[in-house]
Amino acid sequence: MQNPNVSILSTEILSDNWYTLNKVTYNITKKDGTTDTQSREAYDRGNGAVILLYNKISQTVILTRQFRLPTYINGNASGMLIEACAGLLDNDNPEECIKRETEEETGYKISRVEKIFESYMSPGSVTEILYFFIAEYSQEMKIADGGGLEEEGEHIEVLELPFEDALAMIDSGEIKDAKTIMLLQHLRIKNIL
C-alpha cells in the first residue's frame, strides 16, 4: 500500500556506472498537515540474499573473506572482510539465488535452505532488501573449491571456522559485517549451535 503522505515529484539519475544512484525529490505531509519538500539520494543495487552454512556435528560455520573497497577507503587497512556468503538476486527468487551463490562462492551444493527473515541493511541511502537464510552443510556437499566467478572479478577465500571462534571474532572486531553478525547471533539465540 502506497503511503498517502508521500508524493514523488522527480527522479534524477546521478550515476549508473556500477549500480544506479538517484536523486529523488518528494513532498511529505507531516503530522500537523503541512507539506515539506525534500531531496534525498538513494542507491539502487537490486535486492540480495545471504546465507550462513552450519554443521551441528562439527560445530562449524562457513564464511568467506574478500576485498571490499568501501571498507578499505573507510579505514580498513587491508580492505578484506569476513562475511557470510551473499549475492544479488539477478532476477532469481531469493532461494534460487542463494543456492547458486553458495555453490559459486563456497563450493557447497545445498538443496535445502531455511529463510529466517528479511532486512534493510542501510535504509537511509540504499534500496536493497536482503533475504536471510541458514542451511546445514556436510563435507559430502563440497563439490568444488568455490572462490566466486572470475568473470565477476571475485577472489573469495572460503573459511570453515568453529562457531565459538566466529562469535569471538565479533568481539575482537575481526568480523564487522552486519549481515554476518546477525546470522551468527541468530544461530546462538535460537540454540541451533
Annotated domain spans of the chain: 6-44, 48-189
pLDDT value at position 151?
A: 65
pLDDT at 150 over 80: no
Reported as a single tens digit per residue, the pLDDT across 1-40 is 899 999 999 999 999 998 999 999 999 999 999 999 999 9
pLDDT value at position 184?
A: 98
What pTM did the predictor assign? 0.91
Q: DSSP string spanning the chain? A: ---TTEEEEEEEEEE-SSSEEEEEEEEEE-TTS-EEEEEEEEEE---EEEEEEEETTTTEEEEEEEE-HHHHHTT-SS-EEEE-EEEE-TTS-HHHHHHHHHHHHH-B--S--EEEEEEES-TTTB--EEEEEEEE--GGGB-S-----GGGT---EEEEEEHHHHHHHHHHTS---HHHHHHHHHHHHTT--
CATH number for the 48-189 domain, one of 3.90.79.10, 3.10.20.310, 3.40.250.10, 3.40.190.10? Answer: 3.90.79.10
